[in-house]
Structure 1
Amino acid sequence: MKHKALFLALASTALTATGAFAEDVTLNIESWRNDDLTLWQDKIIPAFEAANPGIKVNFTPSAPTEYNAVLNSKLDAGSAGDLITCRPFDASLALYDAGHLANLADMEAMGNFSDVAKSAWQSDDGSASFCVPMASVIHGFIYNKEAFEEVGVAVPTTEGEFFAALEAFKADGNYIPMAMGTNDQWEAATMGYNNIGPNYWKGEEGRQALIAGEQKLTDDAWVKPYETLAKWGPYLGDGFEAQTYPDSQNLFTLGRAAIYPAGSWEITGFNAQADFEMGAFKAPVMAAGDTCYISDHTDIGIGMNAATAHPEAAKAFLSWVASPEFAGIFGNALPGFFPLSNTPVELEDPLAKEFVSWRGECESTIRSTYQILSRGTPNLENDTWGASVAAIKGTSTPAELGAKLQDGLAMWYEPQQ
């Protein structure tokens, strides 16, 4: 409550000191999250407006696939909103470099976030921060508790236990051990490689070493996750090669699969569709007692249009977004999208609580390819999709995949040359 009072007091002081809001100021927010419209209209905006008389807020989202183009067009035309919802890393960095996003590094509210949380919306040297972090998504595995009880399988914590569980479900024959296809490719990298990988490359230690050129994609830490993915194929069910992302979701929520390699963003949809009790477990460690690492991936932030006519009102809103009040509203209205502020949030959804509890047990990191390493051609993120699929299908060896990825990165990224 002290944090909340401080933020509101700061905002109130700013408004009183400047007299800027003798008349109502209206702020417009640009976003791609059109599925959140009701949340913003019914919960977030009323809470802010109640605490900040004189500032009105409109949430005006675009379709997700059109957002980047629509936003850039509006920014170029000078018609974009006062507040810009930020995708992580290079898309938002490009907006900052073009002068469209203001530097917020001097905002006191930015002190409420860790360096990892802020890294998705900073200049490469960390001197500028241009979006307030809102939420992350956490990777892991969601499982059917009823299936585990029926087959007598314990929730795995080590890789040996994980594959023993998969083998038990395969032998039982009543469930597909794990629901994931390779048709859409990105799942193999996002819910496969970058889910289990941090335990191999030790999270931020390995990710930063790769950026610095101190590690290579041919090192064991980066190749061994492909060796593990190569063992997944026999447990994914018949025809997994042609199975799409929605196919996998349906197989799991219909109760036909025991385990789903997941991101926490699935929670809301799964809660609505599955009629069985679910649990979650984090990526298994190699051996009991090993330090665990989780992909706690920065997903969404919000920044200020550098050309806004209402910078003080916009900063008042951004300071409120950094507050415990906003975190509590957002985290519970969208279970699986976890607030990034340092202040703990009491979550209500049991599955979301399980995911977020891992922050207290493990070291957090972000997806290995998202910062800096996918700016060139060939694109490392896209190539990691293909490599992860190839590992699962067994069409290339893990060593071959590491060598190909390393050669591609070295073609354009100087620290790896």
Structure 2
Amino acid sequence: MTVRTLLRNAMLAAAILAPAAQAGTLIIESWRVDDKALWEKVLLPAFEKNHPGIEVKFAPTAPTEYDSSLAARLAGGTAGDLIACRPFDVSLSLYKKGQLEKLDGKAGMQNFPASAMVAWQTDDGKDTFCMPIASVIHGFLYNKKIFKKLNLQPPRTVDEFFAVLDGLKKGGVMPLALGTADQWESSQMVYTNIGPNFWRGEEGRKALIAGKARLTDAPFVEALQFEQRMGSYLPKGASAQTYGDSQNLFSLGRAAIYPAGSWDISYFGQVQGLELGAFPPPVRKLGDPCFISDHMDIGIGINRKSRNKDDAYKFLAWVGSQEFADLYTNRVTGFFSLSNHLIAVRDPVAKQVAEWRNSCASTIRFNAQVLNRGQPSMESELWNVNAQVLNGKLAPKDAAAKLQSGFAKWYKPQQK
């Protein structure tokens, strides 16, 4: 037998065996590197226990590299079978390119309300391409020991909120663990945290999309005015203070209130001696309806070019189950299942935050859907403008005018 024949036979054998190597093995793509141990030690063993013969591997990519590297792997046909989906436009783009399966009617999808699907649907709502997993909720964390020492109660209204900040200041305690160096906190953990109580959540968000409201309208300006007032309670040198710096200040008990995303509950829950409490964003006055930023964070989809779709759909059905919802909610503290399953949240602070859903209407970050699609980028504008407002460098009305001007440059419904 010649060398050429041997080589040809070897290549033929490899081609025959390649698909077999894929059978029974699923690869999950994700940006959540910190969850690797959770998937490998808790979630995947739970799935594999009742699905013998299906091996699942969690293969995360650094968050800053995920979008670009995943896009390259999908285009090149080397991506995993299951794709962790960011909300809205990033995943919508993948679906439009034909890289994600349509999931309407698939097993497990029936366990999610229509409202949970919005982040992973086409604009007309006809196609759903990722199964929802979890959301994060915004509000405020506070140091119970400091509040008790100064005889302060968690505020319910705007007036009470600033009265508490004054009480902390008079008590010699730094009121807010908040800096503006990284900018994103100014937008996501302040403006789109407190703002929904001014623009009435989904009502205001949808009015912007429809062109029936402007960012210069009173509710959006009032949110910026609230933010401007907050600025006088920031630490000295706040413009150079990073997210990590703020976490340290609060952890050490050197600041009493932390504008938060619920993902921070897990981090602070590990700090010995820190008695953690939470309160929702304040309403204008007692009796007003309340709204919370309950933002869809992560979903999961199926690579249309997966070589093992049958098993991928079995895994997807499990992700839609009560077992997964319970495990994920209670092991990834501060991330709340978007399913209809009744989940007993075990962490006391996370439980308190999850219960806000019972009394307040949920909304999402108002720019997440549609409004980030043009230039200048609404997301980037919000980061910069809100940081300037907090730093006292930009007046609320001027900030609103800048946001609206950038928005109207590219969004036709705002040009009427």
| TM-score w.r.t. length of structure 2 | 0.93
Q: Aligned-pair RMSD on alpha carbons?
A: 1.3
Corresponding position of 1:13: none
Write the mapping of 1:370-409 to structure 2, written as runs, cut at 5 A: 370-409=368-407
Q: CA shift at 1:108, angstroms?
A: 4.4
Q: CA deviation digits over 1:253-306, x for unaligned, max 9? A: 011000000000101111113522100000000111111000000001100001
Mapped contact 1:280–1:354 kept (Cα < 8 A):
yes
Q: Counterpart of 1:123?
A: 122
Task: Answer yes or no: is 1:188 the counterpart of 2:189.
Answer: no
Find the counterpart in structure 2 of residue 145 from structure 1: 144
Distance 1:343 1:106 in 2: 18
Distance 2:363 2:180 in 1: 25
Looking at structure 1, the residues matched to 148 and 252 of structure 2 have their Cα atoms a distance apart, in angstroms, of 17
Report the residue type matching 2:147 in the other structure: F
Paired residue secondary structure (2:206): helix
Q: Please say which structure displays the higher CA radius of gyration.
A: 2
Alpha-carbon distance, 1:354 to partner: 0.8
SS for the counterpart of 1:43 is helix
Q: 2:281 aligns with which of 280, 283, 291?
A: 283
Amino acid at match of 2:164: A
Distance 1:274 1:252 in 2: 12
Task: Quote how far apart the aligned CAs of 1:53 are.
Answer: 2.4
The one-letter code matched in structure 2 to 1:380 is M
Higher mean Cα deviation, 318-327 or 265-274?
265-274
Q: In terms of mean alpha carbon deviation, does 233-242 or 325-334 score higher?
A: 233-242
Distance 1:125 1:69, change over 3 A: same
Give me the whole-angstrom Cα distance separating, in 2, the residues matched to 1:233 and 1:80. Answer: 45
Corresponding residue number in structure 2 for 1:63: 62
Q: What amino acid does structure 2 have at the position aligned with 1:87? A: R
User: In the TM superposition, what whole-angstrom CA distance separates every residue of 1:214-238 from its partner, at most 9, and x where no partner exists?
Assistant: 1111111111100000101221121
Corresponding residue for residue 333 of structure 1: 331
Cα distance in 1 for partners of 2:111, 2:127 equals: 16
Amino acid in structure 2 at the alignment position of 1:124: D
SS at match of 2:259: strand
1:221 aligns with 2:214: no
Question: What letter matches 2:234 in structure 1?
Answer: L
Aligned to 1:415: 413
| Residues matched between the structures, number | 395
Q: Where does structure 2 lack aligned partners over 5 or more consecutive residues?
A: 1-19
For the 8 Å contact 2:116–2:338, the answer to whether it is kept is yes
Give 1:394 shift: 2.2
Which TM-score applies when normalising by structure 1?
Answer: 0.93
Unaligned runs of 5+ in 1: 1-20
The C-alpha deviation readout for 1:193-220, integer Å capped at 9, x for no partner, is 0000000111111111111111111111
Task: Name the % identity.
Answer: 51
Aligned match of 1:44: 43
SS at match of 2:296: strand
From 206, 230, 233, the equivalent of 2:231 is: 233
**Of 338, 345, 348, the match for 1:350:** 348
Q: Distance in 2 between matches of 1:265 and 1:228?
A: 24
Contact 1:130–1:303 (CA under 8 A) maintained in structure 2: yes
2:13 corresponds to which residue? none
SS at match of 2:393: coil
Runs of 4 or more above 2 Å deviation: none
Question: Secondary structure, in 3 states, of the residue corresponding to 1:27?
Answer: strand
What is the aligned partner in structure 2 of residue 296 from structure 1? 294
The Cα shift of 1:311 comes to 1.7
Q: Which amino acid aligns with 1:185?
A: Q
| Structure 2 match to 1:7 | none
Counterpart amino acid of residue 236 in structure 2: D
Return the alpha-carbon distance in structure 2 between the equivalents of residues 113 and 402 of structure 1.
36
Q: Secondary structure at the match of 2:407?
A: helix
Alpha-carbon offset, residue 24 of structure 1? 5.8
